[in-house]
């Protein structure tokens, strides 16, 4: 098992008011899983992704990453875990405008800059179809191309799991389809786990499992595979 | 996977981030440049002043002046030359040199000049004094008259008025005039550069208030054993009824030195204030930068940057601005001081000092670093998901 949520609760405090973002979520993701989390706004999709991606910790319950319990781990441990095992893709690509596509892909590992970094960045840009665009800066790329750069960036550390929060939310349908094609290929060819949150049913149908969230709880799971 | 942090890669990224807001970055660097320039400039000025005072102290080291007790300056003092014989008789072999001097004020050539009349006799210490000077031109022979040697600062003024080596200069004091040939000039780096030196015989001709060849303005003496100074003062008090006093040049020089040190401290405070104001620009820029790039910093942390690495990148940005500003500022500080000295016709040589240069750069870097500590702390404590959501 790559990542596992066991009876996960998350409560936010808004002033003195408690906001229940997650209520007893149980979810297991293994290698080669392509999982979609669907639900209306405020259902807790992003919160769940953040907890599964070691960006946030549950108020109650347990999160295991490769059988290691993440509760009570310090920031440094979680940062290392994200650097080594997890890749993130966001709706807004958050590329650094002064860096080229290749430099943006290398960004997560810049502080440690392993020798293979440049070569791998080039390979990944080739994988997402941007071999000839690697020296371009974000403003010279279309939205779809920028999201593909963001995917390459998420893969730079050869992660065990890729977490994508609305990766097609800012793209037209053609570009959205291309992004899902790339993610499907990563699952199929590299046996990675991919978890995406989306509102888009067309996107959801391309995955293997759809987990429906409502008011912080899983209300239904569709196995499509 | 290696866990060694690649400082170079983070520095390159920091540099590229700074280039995103060029005008803002340039303005911040300009603030540092001005701050370091003022700090460095003042350091150069006071360091050069200190060097000069050290020269003066070295020059005057063991010298003392016998002068009238009530005279406010050597120009107004009258001392009987027979004091030399008296001291020599009562304190044989204690005094190493006697140097009778006549100080007077020349008011001709529309250039008020302090004139120092000296003996050139080999037995007289003024010979040594002149021998130690960097004199251009010829040195006159003993007891010769009709010559004048100009200090470098006053020589410059006379040169502008058309008087140079070989020309005759007419001095005027108390209605007496004397035409003397300029035979050279000298540089000491001290206040002596503002004086002109003539033969004591010519000085007597220009000083109707002094009895010829028996009275002078002051007698400079140097003791073989400085501990005898109190005894000589007591001797002068008893022998001449308190008419003369022994003035310690070294004390005057040290007093000037202390004053320079005080000025130095004030200058440092002013320079540091300028530097702090300049570094506030860096702090402001970094605050704006991290506020604008909050989401981006959140993404960096989400993708595995540790708090320390993210903070280091911000610190690098401040250090790059600080380093560029400090190096330029420290260089400009030196040239600005030279320029200011020239513009305001200050008789001072500005010496380049590697210590001042490095100190200025260090001061710029330290203040830039301190200025950015709060932004760095904000980055350290930035929660990635909160930053991304914003």
B87 and B209 together in one domain: yes
B114 and B20 together in one domain: no
Q: Is the pLDDT of residue B329 over 90?
A: yes
Q: Along the 225 residues of chain A, how does pLDDT read in single tens digits?
A: 899 999 999 998 888 888 899 999 999 999 999 999 999 988 999 999 999 999 999 999 999 999 999 988 998 999 999 999 999 998 888 898 888 999 999 999 999 888 899 999 999 999 888 989 999 999 999 988 999 999 999 999 999 999 999 888 888 888 888 889 989 998 988 889 999 999 889 889 999 999 999 999 999 999 887
pLDDT, tens digit, 9 for 90 and up, residues B331-366? 999 999 999 888 887 767 788 888 889 999 999 999
Q: What is the pLDDT of residue A32?
A: 92
Domains contained in chain B, number: 2
| Residue B115, beta-bridge partner list | B104, B196
Sorting pLDDT into bands at 50, 70 and 90, what band is B216? very high
Q: Among residues 102-131 of chain A, which lie with CB inside 8 Å of chain B?
A: 103, 107-114
Q: How far is Cα B115 from Cα B24, in angstroms, rounded to an integer?
A: 58
Q: What is the pLDDT of residue B125?
A: 47
B230 and B283 together in one domain: no
Q: What is the pLDDT of residue B311?
A: 92
Contact A94/B304, CB-based, under 8 Å?
Answer: no
Contact B304/A108, CB-based, under 8 Å?
Answer: yes
Q: Do B346 and B385 contact (CB within 8 A), yes or no?
A: no
Q: What is the pLDDT of residue B2?
A: 42
Contact A112/B300, CB-based, under 8 Å?
Answer: no
B94 and B229 together in one domain: yes
Does residue B330 sit within a domain? Answer: yes
Could you say which of B242, B267, B285 is where a domain stops? B242
Of all residues in chain A, the one with the smallest CA distance to B384 is: A55
Probe site for chain A from B14, B293, B302, B316 (most A CB atoms < 10 A): B302
Residue-level length of chain B = 390
Sorting pLDDT into bands at 50, 70 and 90, what band is B72? confident
Q: How far is Cα B299 from Cα B157, in angstroms, rounded to an integer?
A: 68
Mean pLDDT in residue range B24-47: 89
Does residue B2 sit within a domain? Answer: no
Write a three-state SS string for chain A. CCEEEEEEEEEEEECCEEEEEEEEEEEEECCCCEEEEECCCCCCHHHHHHHHCCCCCCCEEEEEECCEECCCCCHHHHHHHHHHHEEEECCCCCCCCCCCHHHHHHHHHCCCCCCCHHHHHHHHHHHCCCHHHCCCCHHHCCHHHHHHHHHHHHHCCCCCEEEEECCCCCCCHHHHHHHHHHHHHHHHHHCCEEEEEECCHHHHHCCCEEEEEECCEEEEEEECC
Does residue B16 sit within a domain? Answer: yes
Contact A50/B16, CB-based, under 8 Å?
Answer: no
Does residue B64 sit within a domain? Answer: no
Q: What is the pLDDT of residue B61?
A: 58
B19 and B102 together in one domain: no
Mean pLDDT in residue range B217-221: 89
Q: What is the pLDDT of residue B1?
A: 41
Does residue B301 sit within a domain? Answer: yes
Contact A83/B305, CB-based, under 8 Å?
Answer: yes
Does residue B130 sit within a domain? Answer: yes
B26 and B126 together in one domain: no
B270 and B384 together in one domain: yes
Q: Do A100 and A132 contact (CB within 8 A), yes or no?
A: no
Q: What is the pLDDT of residue A63?
A: 95
B94 and B173 together in one domain: yes
Three-state SS at B189: coil
Q: How far is Cα A61 from Cα B93, in angstroms, rounded to an integer?
A: 100
Domains contained in chain A, number: 1
Contact B388/A90, CB-based, under 8 Å?
Answer: yes
Q: How far is Cα B18 from Cα B372, in angstroms, rounded to an integer?
A: 14
Nearest to A111 among B17, B19, B305 (CB): B305
Q: Among residues 279-298 of chain B, which lie with CB inside 8 Å of chain A?
A: 295-296
Mean pLDDT in residue range B317-337: 93
- Provide the mean pLDDT of chain B: 83
B170 and B287 together in one domain: no
B107 and B236 together in one domain: yes
- For B171, phi and psi rounded to 5 degrees? -95, 150
Mean pLDDT in residue range B174-203: 85
Hey, is the C-beta of B22 within 8 angstroms of any chain A C-beta?
Answer: no
Three-state SS at B183: strand
The residue among A91, A87, A82 whose CA lies nearest residue A179 is A91
Sorting pLDDT into bands at 50, 70 and 90, what band is B62? low
Contact A79/B306, CB-based, under 8 Å?
Answer: yes
Strand-pair category, B215-216 with B79-80: antiparallel
Query: What domain range includes position A111?
Result: 3-223
Least confident of B23-37, B202-216, B339-353: B339-353
Of all residues in chain A, the one with the smallest CA distance to B16 is: A98
10 Å CB burial of residue A198 (0-12, 13-18, 19+) is buried
pLDDT, tens digit, 9 for 90 and up, residues B123-170? 444 545 555 565 666 667 767 889 898 888 888 888 888 888 889 988
Query: What domain range includes position B141?
Result: 70-242
Does residue B376 sit within a domain? Answer: yes
Does residue B311 sit within a domain? Answer: yes
pLDDT, tens digit, 9 for 90 and up, residues B91-128? 887 887 788 889 999 888 767 888 988 887 654 445 45
Q: What is the pLDDT of residue A123?
A: 93
Nearest to B303 among A75, A92, A108 (CB): A108
Q: What is the pLDDT of residue B259?
A: 74
Of all residues in chain A, the one with the smallest CA distance to B295 is: A94
Q: What is the pLDDT of residue B342?
A: 84
Could you say which of B207, B242, B277 is where a domain stops? B242
Predicted interface score ipTM higher than 0.85:
yes
B80 and B218 together in one domain: yes
Could you say which of B216, B242, B268 is where a domain stops? B242
Please report where in the chains the tokens 């008087």 appear, as a residue: B163
Q: What is the pLDDT of residue B223?
A: 79
Q: Which residues on B lie below 8 Å from A92 (Cβ)?
A: 295
Q: Please report, rounded to a whole number, the percentage of residues in chain B having pLDDT higher than 70.
A: 87
What CATH number has the domain bearing residue A19? 3.40.50.300
Of all residues in chain B, the one with the smallest CA distance to A81 is: B304
Q: Which residues on A lie below 8 Å from B4 (Cβ)?
A: 112
* Shortest Cα–Cα distance, B305 to chain A (Å): 6
Q: Among residues 39-78 of chain A, which lie with CB inside 8 Å of chain B?
A: 50, 53, 55-56, 75-76
Q: Which residues on A lie below 8 Å from B9 (Cβ)?
A: 110-111, 113
């Amino acid at each position: 098992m790559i990542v596992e949520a066991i009876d996960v609760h998350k409560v936010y405090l808004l002033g003195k008011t408690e906001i229940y973002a997650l209520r007893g979520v149980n979810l297991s993701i293994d290698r080669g899983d392509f999982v979609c989390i669907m639900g209306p706004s405020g259902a807790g999709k992003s919160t769940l992704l953040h907890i599964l991606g070691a960006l946030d910790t549950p108020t109650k319950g347990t999160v295991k990453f490769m059988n290691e319990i993440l509760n009570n781990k310090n920031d440094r441990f979680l940062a290392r875990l994200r650097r080594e095992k997890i890749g993130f893709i966001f709706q807004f690509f958050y590329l650094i405008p002064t860096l080229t596509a290749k430099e943006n892909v290398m960004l997560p590992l810049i502080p440690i800059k392993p020798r293979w970094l440049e070569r791998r960045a080039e390979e990944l840009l080739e994988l997402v179809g941007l071999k000839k665009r690697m020296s371009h800066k974000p403003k010279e790329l279309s939205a779809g191309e920028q999201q593909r750069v963001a995917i390459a960036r998420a893969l730079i550390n050869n992660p065990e799991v890729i977490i994508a929060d609305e990766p097609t939310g800012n793209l037209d349908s053609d570009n959205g389809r291309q992004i899902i094609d790339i993610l499907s290929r990563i699952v199929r060819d590299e046996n990675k786990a991919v978890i995406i949150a989306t509102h888009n049913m067309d996107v959801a149908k391309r995955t293997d499992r759809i987990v429906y969230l409502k008011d912080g709880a899983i209300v239904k799971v569709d196995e499509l595979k | 996977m290696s866990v060694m942090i690649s400082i170079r890669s983070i520095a390159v990224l920091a540099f590229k981030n700074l280039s995103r807001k060029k005008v803002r970055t340039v303005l911040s660097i300009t603030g540092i440049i001005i701050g370091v320039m003022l700090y460095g400039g003042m350091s150069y000025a006071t360091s050069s002043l200190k060097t000069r005072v050290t020269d003066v102290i070295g020059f005057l080291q063991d010298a003392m002046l016998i002068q009238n007790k009530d005279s406010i300056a050597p120009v107004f003092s009258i001392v009987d030359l027979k004091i030399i014989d008296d001291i020599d008789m009562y304190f044989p072999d204690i005094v190493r040199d006697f140097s009778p001097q006549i100080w007077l004020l020349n008011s001709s050539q529309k250039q008020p000049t302090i004139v120092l009349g000296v003996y050139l006799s080999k037995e007289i210490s003024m010979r040594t004094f002149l021998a130690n000077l960097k004199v251009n031109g010829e040195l006159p022979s003993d007891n010769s008259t009709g010559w004048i040697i100009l200090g470098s600062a006053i020589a410059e003024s006379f040169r502008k008025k058309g008087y140079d080596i070989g020309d005759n200069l007419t001095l005027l004091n108390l209605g007496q005039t004397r035409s003397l040939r300029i035979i050279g000039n000298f540089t000491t780096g001290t206040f002596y550069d503002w004086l002109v030196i003539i033969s004591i015989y010519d000085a007597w001709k220009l000083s109707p208030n002094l009895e010829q060849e028996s009275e002078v303005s002051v007698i400079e003496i140097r003791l073989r054993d400085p501990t005898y100074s109190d005894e000589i003062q007591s001797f002068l008090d008893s022998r001449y009824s308190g008419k003369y006093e022994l003035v310690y040049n070294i004390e005057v020089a040290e007093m000037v030195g202390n004053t320079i040190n005080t000025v130095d401290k004030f200058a440092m405070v002013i320079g540091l204030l300028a530097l702090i104001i300049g570094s506030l620009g860096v702090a402001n820029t970094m605050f704006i930068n991290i506020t604008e790039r909050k989401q981006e910093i959140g993404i960096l942390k989400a993708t595995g940057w540790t708090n320390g690495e993210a903070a280091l990148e911000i610190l690098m940005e401040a250090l790059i601005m600080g380093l560029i500003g400090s190096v330029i500022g420290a260089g400009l500080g030196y040239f600005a001081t030279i320029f200011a000295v020239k513009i305001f016709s200050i008789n001072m040589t500005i010496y380049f000092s590697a210590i001042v240069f490095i100190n200025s750069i260090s001061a710029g870097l330290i203040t830039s670093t301190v200025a950015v500590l709060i932004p760095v702390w904000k980055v350290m404590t930035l929660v990635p998901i909160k930053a991304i959501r914003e």
